[in-house]
Amino acid sequence: MFNLFLQVCILPAFLLITTHVESKSVIQLAQDLGATTLVGFIKQAGLEGTLSGHGPFTVFAPNNAAFAALPNDVKAKLANDTDLLKQVLTFHVTSGRDYSTALSNDMLVASLNTPNKIRVNIYQTVDTQIYTVDGATIVTYDQNATNGVIHVIDKVMFPIPMGPITSVAALNPNFGTLIYCLQQGQLLETLSGAGPFTVFAPNNAAFDKLPPNALSDLLSNQTALVAVLKYHVIGATYFSAGLNEGDIPTLEGKSVKVSIGNDGVKINNAKVVTADIPATNGVVYEIDTVLLPPN
């Protein structure tokens, strides 16, 4: 009798729950998960038909707070430039069902915005694992839809020109002096390699703060130049979500100290100006002071 009760009552209830969970497309499910701004942009960009199709798709769905946090000029640009909006949105979508169990640290996942790929990083804390995609933290995992799976994220990702750290830095005029130093130190090839790397990249103003003749002295001393440059590089990918207070060893051999406070993040005495600039082989932080290794 008890077995009959299970078959008649409990099993249909289970099937009803399962059907309810998986009876919606990724667009409908995103709406239910509170990503209403994303859904509105999907419709505006003309992608509703695509993402209502068979798929399957994996959608890294920025929540409403992620879009609200964008600068006003960026929000206006997205709202008025359909082509740009479509590029950004397709960068949040991959083909197939990429559950969290299939993601691994430093994995590159092809997005629908080819050839741009999404960089996955996983950081272990005392209590849990933190998953990030191009620096955005996944806050809700593995939400099933009829045609895919959704991971809710806390930032909007933007497709960048694909390339290693050196290429990304070369496209930013703030890093002109750094690129020249890397050329002189013959480190461009190293930082164009597979990595992964985290580079604390001094901007031009940081080099301008050096004492008179300090830069020219460095450029005339290959050993010292390479030591200083390697002191800015970590042999792992640390987006902000995985960056904790304490010492981190550099490629030079000595460690830099990470400090996180109300006034932002510091690397030794250098303040982070811009964080989480993604590249195919790691991440870049713009800093306002050149780091000098001890002794």
The domain segmentation of the chain, as residue ranges, is: 2-153, 165-287
Contacts of 171 (CB under 8 A, 6+ apart): 161
Is the pLDDT at 95 greater than 70? The verdict is: yes
The CATH number of the structural domain formed by 2-153 is 2.30.180.10
| Amino acid sitting at position 60 | F
Q: How far is 199 from 234, CA to CA, in rounded Å?
A: 6
Q: Please tell me the predicted confidence (pLDDT) of residue 113.
A: 83
CB 183 within 8 A of CB 67: no
Are domains 2-153 and 165-287 of this chain identical in fold? yes
The CATH number of the structural domain formed by 165-287 is 2.30.180.10
Q: Please tell me the predicted confidence (pLDDT) of residue 295.
A: 75
Give the C-alpha distances (Å, rounded to integers) separating 286 from 106, 180, 230, 246.
Answer: 21, 16, 15, 19
Per-residue exposure over 154-186, b if at least 16 CB sit within 10 Å of its own CB, e if not: bbbbbbbeeebbbbbbbebebbebbbebbebbe
> For 7-54, how does the pLDDT look when each residue is reduced to its tens digit (9 = 90+)?
434 333 433 333 344 588 999 999 999 999 999 999 999 999 999 998
> For 195-231, how does the pLDDT look when each residue is reduced to its tens digit (9 = 90+)?
899 999 999 999 999 998 999 999 999 999 999 999 9
| Amino acid sitting at position 6 | L
Is the pLDDT at 105 greater than 80? The verdict is: yes
Tally of CB atoms within 10 A around 208: 11
Which one has a higher pLDDT value, 142 or 125?
A: 142
Is the pLDDT at 185 greater than 80? The verdict is: yes
Half-sphere exposure of 129 (CA within 13 A, CB side): 11
Where does the chain show beta strands of DSSP type E? 57-62, 93-95, 107-110, 117-124, 129-133, 136-145, 148-153, 197-202, 233-234, 246-249, 255-261, 264-267, 270-279, 282-287
> For 246-255, how does the pLDDT look when each residue is reduced to its tens digit (9 = 90+)?
999 999 999 9
Q: How far is 47 from 124, CA to CA, in rounded Å?
A: 35
Asked if the bond preceding 56 is cis, omega within 30° of 0, the reply is yes
Q: Please tell me the predicted confidence (pLDDT) of residue 38.
A: 97
Can you tell me the mean pLDDT for 88-110?
94
Is the pLDDT at 280 greater than 70? The verdict is: yes
Mean pLDDT of the chain: 89
Can you tell me the mean pLDDT for 83-100?
94
> For 156-184, how does the pLDDT look when each residue is reduced to its tens digit (9 = 90+)?
998 876 688 999 899 899 999 999 999 99
Is the pLDDT at 239 greater than 50? The verdict is: yes
Q: Please tell me the predicted confidence (pLDDT) of residue 142.
A: 95
Q: Please tell me the predicted confidence (pLDDT) of residue 117.
A: 86
Query: Whats the size of the chain, residue-wise?
Result: 295
